[in-house]
Structure 1
Amino acid sequence: MTKEIIKFEHVSKKFGKSLVISDLSFVINRGEFITVLGSSGSGKTTTLKMINGLEKATSGNITVGDKNLEKSNLVDVRRHIGYVVQSIGLFPHMTIAHNIAVTPNLLGWDQEKIKETVSRLLNIVDLNIEDYGNRYPAQLSGGQQQRVGVARALSANPPVLLFDEPFSALDAITRQKLQEEVKKLHKNLGNKTFFFVTHDINEAFYLGDRIMIMNRGKIEQFDTPMTVIKYPKTKYVSDLINTVREKQALWEKLK
């Protein structure tokens, strides 16, 4: 039995007089890996930020779990939503272990529980606590820092994780490896819902159970990768698919 965990009902968002999100409605079920694809200005990051209340909807209703964001304490909501961003945002003066422990400490967890959680999460992202727990962010590579960012996002065992173009600043090889790790992590965690914003079409199609394709503040199509490829609903979606086919054709010529 599926259970809704994120629901937008006729949501719009204005910045001043500029309408960036127009009448957005969708439902995401618990445990799904949703990728959100669109060019700059499509509204994908604004949509992500409205999920945890970093941006407030101008109109409409947003529900996360059983909480209507308009009527909820947003600080409490955010503490139960993991958030991974491109800039990673690790505290440079804190060790890796202390970075991961930030939210559990804010929640008042027992120190033994925090220590066990930090160790377990570092193992999950393939960084053991003995080698990495006492290091500082500057002592890690970009890819390793991003893994720590994912571990920190998981620290309070949130049902929802938001990813805002987390790999876009990384080199191609590191990026591919982290894509594989995140996909495996989602499968192993089982009941976590991932909402992953990207402008990379290959990344979106590789990671997502369903892909939300946005353009100018609206959803052009929201479906499984195979359905989007076989049955693009709009010219915009069709043009996106054709860019991938053109690149594949180019590689075929170079063989």
Structure 2
Amino acid sequence: MTKEIIKFEHVAKKYSKNTIIPDLSFSIDEGEFITVLGSSGSGKTTTLKMINGLEKPTSGEVIVNNQNLKNCNIVEVHRHIGYVVQSIGLFPHMTIAQNIAVTPKLLGWSQEKIDQRAIDLLNLVGLNDEEYSNRYPAQLSGGQQQRVGVARALSTNPPIMLFDEPFSALDAITRQNLQKKLKRIHERLQDKTFFFVTHDINEALFLGNRVMVMNQGRIEQFATPSEVVNHPASSYGKELIGTVRENQALWEELK
């Protein structure tokens, strides 16, 4: 039986007279990999930030893991949600193992448990613990640092992982490799719910088992990648798919 883990009920978000999200309702089940696709200003990052309480809705209800965020301790909510962003934000004066251990230390885990968790997570993201544990962030490539960012977000075994365009600053080859790695990680962690914001349609279609297409603060389609490609539900969706088909045509011309 599926378990609903994230639910928005008629959520609106306004800044002064500027309405970012007029009326948003959706639900996500435990274990899904949701990609959120939209251009700048579509409301996708605002939606992500409302899931972990970094932004509060102007009206409506946000329910995460059976908790209404209006009536709960947001600090406690943060401890059960992993968060990966483009800037990564590793502490430069700490080793890789120490970076991964930040939240477990705050929660009072034993050193033995912390050390084992760092080893397990480094190997999960494809970084040999013996080689990387005692390195510092400056000694890693951008792609390796982003892997450590994923490991750190997973450190306390949260049921929900949020990704805010984490790969957008990376080169195309590194980005594609990390997409494949992240997809494999999700397949191994079957109970984890991933919510991944991107403006890259190929990334959204490759990673998500469902794709949320957002435009001007509204969901225009929320469906499987196949449904989004073959039956776009709006003119905006058709335009997005059109860019993919144009790229395919260009590659055919260049052969």
- Counterpart of 1:132? 132
Query: What code does the residue aligned with 2:143 have?
Result: G
Letter of the structure 2 residue corresponding to residue 132 of structure 1 = Y
Deviation per CA, 1:47-66, whole angstroms, max 9, x where unpaired? 00000000011100001101
* Residue type of the alignment partner of 1:123: N
Structural mapping, 1:173-192, within 5 Å: 173-192=173-192
- Give the corresponding residue for 1:170: 170
Q: Which residue of 2 aligns with 1:79?
A: 79
Q: Does residue 57 of structure 2 align to residue 63 of structure 1?
A: no
| TM alignment of 1:77-226, pairs within 5 A | 77-226=77-226
Please give the per-residue CA displacement for 1:155-186, whole angstroms capped at 9, x wherever unaligned: 00000000000000000000000000000000
Flag as ranges the 4+ runs of structure 1 deviating above 2 A.
Answer: none
> For residues 112 and 11 of structure 1, what CA distance do their matches in structure 2 show?
43
Taking every aligned residue pair, what percent have the same amino acid on both sides? Answer: 72
2:112 aligned partner, one-letter code: E
Q: 2 CA distance for matches of 1:17 and 1:95?
A: 45
For the pair 1:251 / 2:251, whether they are aligned, the reply is yes
Residue aligned with 1:41, SS: coil
Letter in 1 for 2:9: E
The structural deviation recorded for 1:24 is 0.3
Q: Distance in 2 between matches of 1:88 and 1:218?
A: 28
What corresponds to 1:36 in structure 2?
36
Aligned to 2:227, what secondary structure does the other structure show? helix
Give the TM-score normalised by the residue count of structure 2.
Answer: 0.99
Q: CA deviation at 1:72?
A: 0.7
Structure 1 residue 93: Cα displacement: 1.1
The one-letter amino acid of 1:250's match is L
RMSD (Å), alpha carbons: 0.6
Shift of 1:229: 1.2
The alignment partner of 2:48 has SS state of helix
TM-score by length of 1: 0.99
Unaligned runs of 5+ in 1: none
| Alignment partners' CA distance in 1, 2:210 and 2:197 | 12
